[in-house]
Amino acid sequence: MCDKIKINLVVNGEPVTFEVQPHVSLLRALRDNYYYDVKCGCEEGDCGTCTVLLDGIATKSCITLAAACEGHEVWTDKGLGYNDALAARLQAAFVECGSIQCGFCSPGMIVAGVHYLKHGGKADRRAIKRSISGNLCRCTGYVKIVDAIYKVAQEIERGALA
Amino acid sequence: MNTKILENEFEYSKPGSLEEVLETLATKQNVRIFAGGTDLIVKLKLGALPDMEHMLDINGVEELGKIETRADGLEIFAGAKLWSIESDRRVEENYPALREAIQAMASISVRNMATLGGNFCNASPVADAVGPVMCYGGKVRMQSKRGAREVNAVDFFLAPGVSVLEKGELLTSVYLPAPKAHTGHAFVKMGRVKSDIAKISITAVLEREGDRIASCRLAMGSVAARPLFLKAIGEGLAGKAMTEALAQETAQNISDFIKPIGDNRTTAEYRTDVAKVIARDALVSAWKNSGGTL
Ligand SMILES: Cc1cc2nc3c(=O)[nH]c(=O)nc-3n(C[C@H](O)[C@H](O)[C@H](O)COP(=O)(O)OP(=O)(O)OC[C@H]3O[C@@H](n4cnc5c(N)ncnc54)[C@H](O)[C@@H]3O)c2cc1C
Ligand code: FES
Ligand code: FES
């Protein structure tokens, strides 16, 4: 049995210390510490529902080792919603556009969308589709998810959102 | 939570210098390098690496994260993430087939994590970014406590999952020589959906001289036990005038030459048939973007 190691990181703006074994994924460490908004789907990097921002970059937490996150900053969908105006707006747009059915993909989709918009993503349906190509949704057919990201991208372009 | 946990228990280390990385590689047993983890962690979850005892994270070594201009080319180090390669101006301008291949891989969130070195060291016959490096005449640089060495990218692969990389050796960088003038590039990949692993892929890089092909290099993914460099077929095009008929004839030769297998992604027959189509398309578009007309 490997010894547990302590990792210090910042989750949703709050410094935390997780005690984990070296072989634990970031996804598991987060869920073990009650960050249940980070969902677990395929556990193989395919479905994207576990997507978080790691140092501002969309990352699949299921194939990220928790131990490798020492000193890094993680934001989950829920934390973003409370702290980040753009993410909060995108969450609201998901509701307005009917982009959520069962909701299982939504946290990952929203984080992928936040990454897209924060990295200069435009109101361009093709580019938006590409940006969520690592996120699977079995309910909506994607159209309404693209609608929501498109809507917020338009608002940014109009200057209605910082 | 579903049950895909990492079965192995292992030590984890993240040294801050290349020396320490090489030292750990030389002294610890059953070490695996962790670059982006996008192959490694998945394999561990599937229980495919039961012997691993130590995971050596190279992301703490700053110099390994770089992409550096050299007098005669570009050196992409082993820790550089695919997204930083695809968004690099020098790659966009000089090695567009590499950029296209990377952008055809997985998803943004995976490319934010994965590396070019990992795509090589995983040594899968489907590895998308490998073909362009082969066709640009790239070299793979490796280092261990015993010293440094370099091999041509086309000589790096031996069998599925097996490369020339020896025990204790680290892939330190992939080096790309500067392309010549009038170079044309194409990368074509067929997958089930955009972010999927390729059923088949092809890269074509050629240099044009007037209405003739001065030289041409071709490589394919998912048609053999390792990434396949079509040396003779590419060399056979040198000095020929480019025509639609030549593109089709070459595509037929490629289709006749390859001996793909059928697997869970598609059948051997599909690969043989589609090779013809994508080889023709790749040749024609490489020719056109070298400035040639048809
Ligand atoms: C959802 C998903 C989709 C994918 N889609 C594609 C795709 O479309 N096309 C494709 O080609 N690949 C795909 N992959 C596979 C993978 O992302 C790539 O092969 C990637 O380039 C691997 O890089 P990495 O840095 O993550 O490698 P790692 O997982 O860190 O390493 C891979 C292997 O190489 C070894 N290694 C890594 N770096 C070094 C080094 N510097 N020296 C010595 N050994 C080293 C590791 O020990 C390990 O055995 C996909 C993966 C996932 C999870
Ligand atoms: S759970 Fe991470 S990608 Fe599916
Ligand atoms: S809303 Fe159900 S998976 Fe997307």
CB distance A65–B12 less than 8 Å?
yes
- CA dist., res. B119 & res. B101, Å (int): 12
Last residue of a domain, one of A31, A47, A78: A78
Whether B161 and B270 share a structural domain: no
Instruction: Judge: B42–A63 Cβ closer than 8 Å, yes or no.
Output: yes
CB of B194 within 8 A of CB of A133?
yes
> Can you give the residue range of the structural domain that contains A58?
5-78
pTM: 0.90
What is the distance between the alpha carbons of residues B269 and B12, in angstroms, rounded to a whole number? Answer: 44
Which of B147, B163, B178 terminates a domain? The answer is: B178
Q: Strand A14-20 and strand B67-70: pairing?
A: unpaired
Domain boundary among B178, B211, B232: B178
Q: What residue ranges line ligand 1, CB within 6 angstroms?
A: A 45-46, 63; B 32-40, 42, 78, 105-106, 110, 113-115, 117-119, 121-122, 126-128, 165, 170-171, 197
Mutate to test the pocket of ligand 1, among B18, B33, B124, B165 (most ligand atoms within 8 A of CB): B33
Asked whether residue B137 falls in the same domain as residue B241, the answer is: no
Domain boundary residue, one of A78, A104, A123: A78
Instruction: Say how many CB pairs under 8 Å bridge A and B.
Output: 98
- Residue A63: CATH number of its domain: 3.10.20.30
Determine the Cα–Cα distance for residues B227 and B41; give it in Å rounded to an integer: 22
Q: How many Å apart are CA B184 and CA B286, to the nearest integer?
A: 4
Three-state secondary structure call for residue B253: helix
Residues 6+ positions from B144 with CB-CB distance below 8 Å: B22, B25, B26, B166, B168, B169, B170
Which residue is it, tokens 């909506």? A140
**Residues A88, A81: contact at Cβ < 8 Å?**
yes
Q: Are residues A38 and A15 in the same domain?
A: yes
Confirm or reject contact between B19 and chain A (CB < 8 A). no
Of A21, A59, A65, the CB nearest to B9: A21
> Where do we find the tokens 């297998």?
B261
Ligand 3: atom nearest CA of A49 is: 3
List residues bridging with B205 in a β-sheet: B185, B217
**What is the enclosing helix (H) or strand (E) of B142?**
strand B139-144
For residue A162, the model assigns a pLDDT of 60
Q: Is A1's pLDDT higher than 90?
A: no
Residues B187 and B100: beta-carbon distance below 8 Å: yes
Q: Which of A43, A58, A130 sits opposite B4 (nearest CB)?
A: A43
Q: What is the pLDDT of residue B1?
A: 41
Whether B195 and B171 share a structural domain: no
Domain with residue A142: its CATH number is 1.10.150.120
Domain span holding position B231: 183-289
10 Å CB burial of residue A16 (0-12, 13-18, 19+) is middle
pLDDT for A69-104, tens place per residue?
999 999 999 999 999 999 999 999 999 999 999 999
Residue of B256, B250, B286, B249 whose CA lies nearest to B271: B256
Is there a contact between B59 and A68 if contact means CB atoms under 8 Å apart?
yes
3 state SS of B209? strand
Q: Does the pLDDT value for residue A148 go beyond 50? A: yes
Q: Which atom of ligand 1 lies closest to the CA of B129? A: 11
Tell me, yes or no, whether B294 lies in a domain.
no
Q: Tell me the C-alpha to C-alpha distance, in Å, between residue B128 and each of A115, B216, B260.
A: 24, 19, 16
The whole-number pLDDT of residue B21 equals 98
**Domain count for chain A:** 2
- Boundary-marking domain end, from B126, B146, B178: B178
Ligand 2 atom closest to residue A46's alpha carbon, by position in its atom list? 3
Contact between residue B196 and residue B271 where contact means Cβ atoms under 8 Å apart = no
Domain limit, last residue, from A78, A110, A129: A78
Sequence-separated (6 or more) residues with CB below 8 Å from residue B31: B24, B25, B52, B53, B54, B55, B56
Backbone φ and ψ for B202, nearest 5 degrees, come out as: -145, 145
- Average pLDDT across each block of 10 residues of chain B; the chain has 294 residues. List them in order: 69 96 97 96 90 96 97 97 97 97 94 97 97 98 98 97 97 97 95 83 97 97 96 97 97 96 92 96 97 93
Phi/psi at B70 (nearest 5 deg)?
-110, 165
